């Protein structure tokens, strides 16, 4: 039987910890294969992970679906992702900065609606998220906890 949610047994969705997701390196028999993924593949995964995080972050308080959508879209746009990267950049390790650089350099097409540099930064951010999701979920949670969203409307 499914237990009904109550104030005592419902976690705040903003407390996005490792009990919700576990690192892929714990689930994959050969974690060294993750290292063979291209920056574009990591960015592809990072895009999905980041959007899921943003959707979860804004789930409470309850709102109309259109309100959820508008809040999420405002945060997952390339411009917002580039801002988030700039905001946390000083907190990154040198190896994380290298992953961001590889992601930026992997961009091989010119975006239509925005500046190429913004698009490269957003791709670097997504690459880092994808990499950390697979290799070090705790570090990803740490970086996500530094992000600020309320000022973006």
Return the active site residues. 47
Q: What angle do CA 14, 102, 71 make, to 5 degrees?
A: 30
In angstroms, the CA 25 to CA 32 distance is 9
Rounded to whole angstroms, how far apart are CA atoms 68 and 85?
A: 23
Rounded Cα distance between 40 and 111, Å, is 15
In sign, the C-alpha dihedral spanning 6, 8, 13, 19 is negative
**CB 10, CB 61: distance < 8 Å:** no
């Amino acid at each position: 039987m499914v237990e009904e949610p109550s104030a005592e047994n419902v976690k705040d969705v903003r407390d996005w910890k490792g009990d919700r997701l576990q690192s892929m390196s714990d689930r994959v028999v050969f974690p060294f294969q993750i290292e063979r993924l291209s920056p574009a593949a990591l960015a592809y995964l990072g895009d999905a992970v980041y959007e899921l995080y943003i959707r979860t972050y804004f789930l409470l308080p309850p709102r109309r679906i259109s309100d959820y959508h508008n809040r999420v879209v405002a945060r997952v746009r390339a411009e917002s992702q580039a801002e988030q990267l700039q905001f946390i950049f000083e907190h990154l390790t040198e190896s994380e900065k290298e992953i961001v650089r590889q992601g930026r350099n992997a961009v091989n097409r010119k975006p239509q609606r925005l500046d190429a540099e913004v698009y490269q930064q957003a791709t670097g951010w997504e690459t880092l998220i994808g990499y950390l999701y697979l290799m070090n979920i705790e570090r990803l949670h740490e970086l996500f906890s530094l992000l600020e969203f309320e000022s973006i409307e």
